[in-house]
């Protein structure tokens, strides 16, 4: 029977999680490149697609907390499980709102959502609800996503 490693042991990001995270960045990169180097006619659709993809990913990472709260893990008190369920709804709501407020504000709201979710993950990792590798992965991916979205805002508004 295979034993589950303790949280203090598993600090290395599993290869599958790492590569899925990297592959998840590809649409952000491809759409940002299209926005920067594509034709004027591609600008609107690529920017809308970027906001939509960001909203999907933000919803996905919010769902991680929902799923974790349902695991019935004895180290998560019932009150924490309820709190995690409630908090897990914030990222999808921010993602949905980003689709409704126009692309410029939508990009900004996505950045805010990714940063808020990362702060939540810091707290949950400190409480040992998530393994250390998860926070490492989330930090790296969030930094890249926030940088891409920020550069798109700057380029789109000709600030840079």
Among the residues of 4-102, which ranges form H helices?
Answer: 15-37, 40-69, 78-87, 90-100
pLDDT digits (tens, 9 = 90+) for 76-118: 666 678 888 888 999 999 999 999 999 999 999 999 999 999 9
Residues in the chain: 160
pLDDT digits (tens, 9 = 90+) for 112-140: 999 999 999 998 888 888 888 999 999 99
Q: What is the pLDDT of residue 75?
A: 66
| Average pLDDT taken over every residue of the chain | 87
Residue ranges per structural domain of the chain: 46-156
Q: Does residue 159 carry a pLDDT above 70?
A: no
Report yes or no: 12 and 133 within 8 Å, Cβ to Cβ. yes
Q: What is the pLDDT of residue 4?
A: 53
Q: Report the alpha-carbon distance of residue 103 to residue 112 in Å, rounded.
A: 14
pLDDT digits (tens, 9 = 90+) for 21-64: 999 999 999 999 999 887 787 878 899 999 999 999 999 999 99
- CA dist list (Å): 19 to 7, 10, 119: 21, 17, 23
């Amino acid at each position: 029977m295979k034993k589950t490693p303790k949280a203090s042991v598993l600090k290395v990001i599993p290869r599958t999680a790492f590569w899925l995270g990297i592959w998840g960045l590809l649409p952000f990169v491809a759409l940002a490149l299209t926005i920067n180097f594509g034709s004027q006619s591609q600008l609107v659709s690529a920017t809308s697609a970027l906001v939509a993809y960001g909203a999907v990913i933000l919803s996905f990472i919010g769902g991680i907390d929902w799923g974790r709260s349902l695991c019935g893990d004895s180290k998560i008190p019932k009150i924490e499980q309820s709190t995690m369920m409630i908090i897990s709804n914030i990222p999808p709501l921010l993602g949905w709102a980003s689709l409704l407020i126009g692309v410029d504000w939508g990009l900004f709201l996505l950045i805010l959502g990714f940063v808020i979710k990362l702060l939540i993950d810091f707290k949950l990792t400190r409480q040992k609800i998530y393994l250390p590798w998860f926070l490492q992965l989330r930090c790296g991916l969030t930094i890249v996503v926030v940088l891409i979205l920020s550069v798109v805002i700057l380029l789109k508004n000709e600030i840079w």
